[in-house]
A and B are shown apart, each in its own frame.
Chain A
Amino acid sequence: MIRASLALAARALRTSLRRPQFLAPLLLFPSMFLAVNTGGMARATELPGFGDVNGFLDFQLAAAMTQSMLLGGVTAGIATALEIEGGFFDRLVASPVPRAALLVGRLIATGAIAVFQVLWFLVIGLIFGAEIEGGVPGALVVILLGIFGGIGFGAIGMLLAFRAKNASTVQGIFPLVFVVLFVSSAFFPRDLLQSPASWIADYNPLSYIADGLREPIIRGVNAGPVLEGFAAALLIIVVAGGFALLALRNRLREA
């Protein structure tokens, strides 16, 4: 099971790297958004209730990471849906690979890509003047939480792929990614959000993941937000992963 999962993960990584039109949106688009948000809302840190940060960029890095990983999850879903449409998935199913490996392999890949995504934004942040208050341990915590987040979002993507009829349905989910992000505290402090985003954000696991990624950057490694972040990511992994596995079983049973 482990070997099969790792092999499938390696395959997923290889095919992703060979298709830049899939990878580019994961980094380019959130980077652009990061630049515009930071440049446009530069003075937002002066608002009463914003909290103490070095700069808006430091605050926004977690948003960019969360956005990037969420897009990565949907992209993993699209790639899987395309494989199902194209028949390659059937070939995997017909092989002796354990069923769960079909899911786990892809999740390992999204986790691996998440490392890359998180590092990208940490480096960009440092280049443009952000400071990681938590230092190297803080960066490592961010990377670790990123891996969990990436896996969780990957599970969501896989759930969509196994349930959807075709790849373009999964692709149509893209706008919803932004809806979910906008009703969280990814981009702005929860206390400063407008209603109804403000109260939805309290129940949105993305808020806790983003806050968990942010804390080591703007304040240092504090147990509360970081642990909440891990808990939220684990929740998504368990729930989305569980449903994805069920959806996979149903799909295989129907085939």
Chain B
Amino acid sequence: MPAIEAVNLQRQYKGGLKAVDGIDLRVEPGEVYGFLGPNGAGKTTTVRMLVTLLRPTGGHAKVAGFDVSTEPSAVRARIGVALQEAALDHLMTGRELMELQATLHGIDPKKVRDRAGDLITRVGLEQAAERRVGTYSGGMRRRLDLAMALIHAPEVLFLDEPTTGLDPTSRSTLWEEVRRLRDEGTTVFLTTQYLEEADQLADRVGIISAGRIVAEDTPAKLKAEVGVPHLDITLASLDGEAEQDLARAREVLARFGDQRPAGPDCHLSVALPDGAAGVAPIVRALDDAGFTVASLDLQSPTLDDVFAEKTGRHLEGAGAA
């Protein structure tokens, strides 16, 4: 039984706007599924439907085996949710919030304190547990939010852009936690606009644009679909007839693979069908032809390339992570 299953899932608002326009999903238990797309693509709307905060206006979905529309209570008992805004009460301490969350999930009063304590320790907030959340940094709030989502050991965890706005260290910490959850067998549905995050964490990635999934597979396979690595070459300044010399350099490179249009300032880019093994012959050929290579850069396809290929646009988060 899949952990998450959606068939033609739709959400249309009054006025006709279709935020989610027919999404099919199948996430297996224990999988980390990355849902990647720019702002406004429909990621959050999809998550909100799967966690029963929004009613689908078409199609259906099941989470942990229960229908989100007809059996929402059963779904809620089995999911953990950390939404885009770390929704915390600033007047309460970390421990109080954990214990409140435990109570909201019906955990036995005798076990509440220990369970809260365990999770506080797990996310590294022991020192801050007795302080009011209003004094926490952004990273600490996210960790607490995650701990609260885990208080009842959910089968499926939904994380909506969990590292947006975090510094690199906090982001790494959260990534580690997601990996640990995967190792423990929790299914994680993660939305993100950061390529690196999807690339690093997800077993499979679904790329969403304008309410539809435009591509779905493992990160490696998705990238392989759009092309091969490229070698970006910057030549040392050419004297005299730069145009002619560039044309000559392109002729040298022609036998190695397809080239992208030459960039400014003596930049060239050639495909490497054999991967990194193709670098040395290219450098030798350029050297033999009298060119001096100033720099080399091996560029592998990114998920942004996948997105660009499918939609004609780039992801906003490309390079931001």
Direct contact of A and B (CB under 8 A): no
- Interface positions of B (Cβ within 8 A of A): none
